Structure 1
Amino acid sequence: MHLLNPAGWWFAAIIPIIIIMYLLKPRYQEQLISSTYLWEQALRDIEASQPWQRLKRNLLLFLQLLAAAFLVLALTRPYFPVAGGVESHVIAVLDSSGSMRATDVSPTRFDEACRQVEKLINELGPRDEMTLIGMGTRTEVLAARSRNRGELRRALNQVQVGAGNADLEAVLSLVSSLTREEDNALLVIFSDGHTIPVKSKIQLACPVELRRIGRGDDNTAIMTLAVRGEGARTVTMARIKNYSSQPVETGLELLADENLVDVRELKLKAGAARDVFWEELPAGTEVVQARLTRPDSLNLDNQAWAVVEKSDESKVLLVSEGNIFMEKALALIPGVKVFKTTPDSFNVEMGGYQAYVFDGWLPKELPAQNMLVINPPPGNPLVKVGEEHGIIEQMTAVGEDPLLKYVELEGWQLARSRPINCPNWARPLLEHEKTPLLVAGEYANRRVAVLGFDLHDTNIPLQTGFPILINNLGAWLLPEPTDAAVLESSGDFIRLAPRTETKEIILTHPGGEEQRFEPPFPAVLPVAESGVYCIAWCMEEEQVVSRVAKNPGDNLESDIKPRSLPWSGMVASSGEGSRRATNREIWPWLLGLALLTLVGEWEVYRRGY
């Protein structure tokens, strides 16, 4: 047995104090009496009460000394080294993505993860350190190399579960830099495994444990809610998917401007999806809401909103598993509204968009609108792609095409690419050693541009010429915007593009809270709550109102079945953690024994033993 607080032995001084109190008996006052015959018994009691007499066996004294011993020992915080603990530097990563809101673990997966993190904090030894990292759409270091359990608990209490995806790759990159020169670190990830897949080849020198949270998969989600105006009508399409391993029955309600207009009863097989259409909605509808009536383990994605946009607004649909570079670049194009979906959720009948951006995937049936295709897969119906090439350190422009105006190519590098076999309908714009990497042209009455590489495998998004290239392509693919007051939405923020004459911007959150902004206006506004945000652009003589809907539906988060981390470098995985040496403290048991002893001492005194 070892002690975490040897200074607690100083409190052992209370034991001799208790004994002295028993040795020191109260003295009686002397009185003159006529005879001692009747007082012999009293005299014997007086002799027995003289101080510093030899101790006699006394059950009350024994119980009090035993209770004091338990208390003193508890203050020294004794512990035993046991198996199943932590290393010297523990890096705890807490998943705060949307799927952690699931209630298959009471009260939620996130709460259970926090409980396990707190347990790990309590198991830290006197020389152990912990770094606490929050893993959501942003990676946040909550506490760095701390031995202070109170500080770690306070940092843990500040973490809030979000609605977005968990960026595991960003966390691993951070941990790699933290543990590069350490040989005593341990990474413990508290997650249900639903993170953005790691594309980079990251290997860590420290052991890795996954404390998998969750056990169920009961979830039905609204994956897509799309609307478009056709004259006085508003046509709506909702895609519902059952992620459960069991068939479900649920009601689907549709509301127009918060008024219930229809209820559909749906039966979905396990893993099945269904598209539901409405064509007769009230004229002049501005906001449409769909919601499922059946509760499940993740109520976050049981409702969705859509804003009925103006018919002359340019809308772009980005179909991708996740490409923040394209989201940001498209959001910079004036007059464009960016929408996102995944390949699994895409349907060719999702109309109303002036252009589509397909990232790493193409549908078998192509939409009739203009398209930008990034990294097309082999066997796609649009262009032929060659074998994968290795590192490309320089590319060149083919002629002086207007689409490359102001685009500086210096420093553009690719780790890998698939060369494009330029079809007859297209012209090459960028190439490497006569091999096309970017082509553009008109195909079947639509404008199409094709990039033959994955942006994540290049440094191009970090170059100043990249947003200029996307802006040029967007201007070519899209009609000219008619309104200079543009609201841009991407991820967890709203991008603002006010007119020069705008005097004030009023942002109204879904809950009714208002935020007011005056020049200079911020470029983006962070948003966390799902729902419809209303933006009022206040000018001298008019006020223009825009709306944007933030929906929680996401294929990565809605498929809540616990899984392993999507990381090829994951070499250790455990639901309970590896067996390593740690410190198991026993002071709570000693405190309980002291309390029981005092209760027994009181009972002995009450009975007069």
Structure 2
Amino acid sequence: MGIGSWAGLWFALGIPLILMMYLLKRKFIDTPVPSHLLWRRVLENTEANRPWQKLRNRLLMWLQILAAALLAFALMRPFLWTDAGTGGTLVVVADVSASMSAIYASEPGDSETAVAPTRLDILKSEILADTRQADGDLTLIRMGGSPQVVASAADDQASWNRAVEELEPDYARTSYREAISLASAVAEGQQDARIIVYTDGQWSERVEDLPVSVPVEVRRIGGERYRNASIEQFGTDGNRAVGVVANTGNSVLEVGVELSGDGRAQGKETLALQPGERQTVTFDRAEAAEVYRLSLAGLSDDYAADDDAFAFPESGGAVKVLLLSDGNLFLEKALRLSGAEVTRLDLSGNAPTADTEASDTEEGAGKTESTAPPLPEEQPDIVVVEGELPASLRSGTWGQWLGNAARWTIGGKEEAGQPGNRRVELTAHPITRYLSLTEPYFGPLTEGRPAGLQTLLSIGGRPAIAAGTENGQRALWFGFNLQSGDLPLNSEFPVLVSNATTWLSGGRGGGLGRAISGAVVEVPIATGAESALWRPLQGAAFEKNGGATQAVNGNPTSGSGEHAGLASSQVAPSVPGLYAFEQSGNGLEEAPVYLLDVRADASESTAPTAENPVFGAMAATGTTGVSDDMAPNTANGDHRSRLPLTIPLAALIIAIMLTEWGVYRRGRSI
């Protein structure tokens, strides 16, 4: 026999209260009255109270004491150990949360091996060993981010073994309550049904208030030793990278912390951490990078899912545009409406043009360099040149600087002969998407169409807009002056500028931040995208198969990656690491690429508690919650279930109360 909760013993204090009531009970004396003259004096004597009487053998008192004792005993939730047997319906709940991927260590002195089994490996072997001789129906429930019935009423041992062996860790936030509710619903109404939960006890939710009407048994997987260091926070601030490293285990650790940017090492420190201690580490970033990685090196801990974190510079997603123009309010406003950061450089009157290029050459290259304006503080992503690019900006430092950015050239010297008709023809391209451009007047066409660019718009058979690649950078050419026509006044002009900015930025997407595996992430979807996928770049997902790009627990497209679909609300990949959200479609040459740091649920990093708090006080009728100290000894093969005594005791208390009512009605005759 066992006791579910010793707290019910407090209700046994009702027994001395019952005895006290009988000790203080008023006692009346039967006295013959010979005359009514003495009635008043006798009445006063018979109403006298006689406290602290000698207890008499009364059946009513013993029934009340027995009822109080049984009530206190029932509130202690007693149970009897019984042989579990192999018949009936068995519902197995397998905990596949992120913490189950930790290395199994039963004792503090266990030796560390090169290939150590994980808690999930031990869980699988325990399930297979316990169900090898089962002759009833077997149901396997996978307890992860969303509970799932993996095998239902299986009576084929081969298929059951295969379902157990295929269990994999789930790094999402585990739905513990939903899994127990599902197990209860499956077992409800089944003959001789019982539930066995295999877990490491590292739960973030309590389920004691759930109505479970069948016996529940908990098999604990894990041990006393737990070595783990975790990166709790990581981010970049200006020229610094700051991280918070914590020791979530129960052993002293010496941790190496490494910072890298785009795969290049930028710093390393060593920390000594006591159990439960956390320290902040700061690095000065040596060079700019698109993505930074903070990782724990030289540490052999039990749980590796929290050893990496990624961060993205705050300005990673902004598109910087340098506008070289004498002044065009409509163009500048349209660029800003597209979300770009615009810096305008007015070169009118102080920079030589193509007409003065010959004189500049005669005086020497030194003059060209001296007449150039100072370089802006930041390298632009796009350079928009309205008119002709000054000769002083075509060579030297400016020439090298502008060669690293995409270029959009607008207008120039007008041609002598113009087309006879103004018929507009468009070619499908991301720049011309959603546009007709049949209404605006473009003005006279200009000279100097670059060779090798694809014509996107022609007027009277002559190129007016062309796009392509020059010197490894994207290039866009408008063969007309914006001031000579009414295109800037047309409603399609902002759309044209937005399309041009998006295409010229070369698919620049930036970072989406950090998300827990399985969480919903908002991702901008490119116009024309027909399919998308998550591609692993770094971390556990990328390194799992020797660094090969692979599908990660999803439906692959194009042979690799995790299929994402076209909705703006996307589910983060299931394995921690750095991912790129890639989109594709007909006519979509290059869509923005967005980076996401996927992490496991932080609550899975902490050390399991010494006692399992999950099934400490299941309150529903018939529930047999098992705390860790009361669970059967699975190591010795003693697999037993518990028979609750709450219902029989409740029935006995009701019977005693009915008997007590009968005694009360009969009065003093008993």
When normalised by structure 2's length, the TM-score is: 0.44
Greater share of strand: 1
Which is greater in Rg? 2
